[in-house]
Amino acid sequence: MRLLLIRHGQTPANVDGVLDAAVPGPGLTELGQRQADALPAALADRGIERIFTSTMVRTQITAAPLAAALGVEPVVLSGLREIEAGDTQGKRDRVSVQTYISTVHGWAQGDRSTRMPGAESGTEFFERYDDAVRQILATGCDVAAAFSHGAAIRTWASVVAQNTPDAFGTTRHLENTGIVEMEGSFEDGWRLVDWEGEPIGGEDLVDRTAQDPTGERF
């Protein structure tokens, strides 16, 4: 299966550099909506058959234009949600951001037992994200689009891809509506096909001023 992991459109929290992983979370900014509206044309030739979103509002709003264009009903999967922020939820100070990022970085390096302060461990994150992807695989489609979140996509994809170092995602940015394209399965192994870190749809959809801690290089 080919799996397009698509980061949601820009939110107010992304602009202000706030760690916000609470469900249901914020909606999109004006730019975020334009990023979402650009997806049907930008992804028209990808052969997408099914669409999945997390339980967070921003992924569902981002997926809506593509789903309407393809005439498919998005399926909500809780496991696709962002890595929980725990004690850093709603914060933007340097210490909180570094705590979040260093914890996630540690998971990518293999230390999955460490817990995000006040939230889930790396083991728990990978278990629920793996479960979501297994549900996508179970549909039997050849190409699926899963709308998810910056830290979650970067961490899961770089670790499961057999053709990249586990910490690969920490050295790559993934802006809003950037896409990480994977191919394979849990049985045969996953391979990273492409890492499109810029917003899909054009240079005018890039916001160079946003602080966005989960989209920048870790």
Q: Active-site residues: which are they?
A: 8, 82
Q: Alpha-carbon dihedral of residues 201, 168, 141, 200, nearest 10 degrees?
A: 0
Q: Are 13 and 215 in contact (CB under 8 A)?
A: no
The CA-based dihedral angle spanning residues 183, 175, 84, 93, taken in that order and rounded to the nearest 10 degrees? 150
39/53 Cα distance (integer angstroms): 15
**What span, in angstroms and rounded, lies between the C-alpha atoms of 168 and 157?**
9
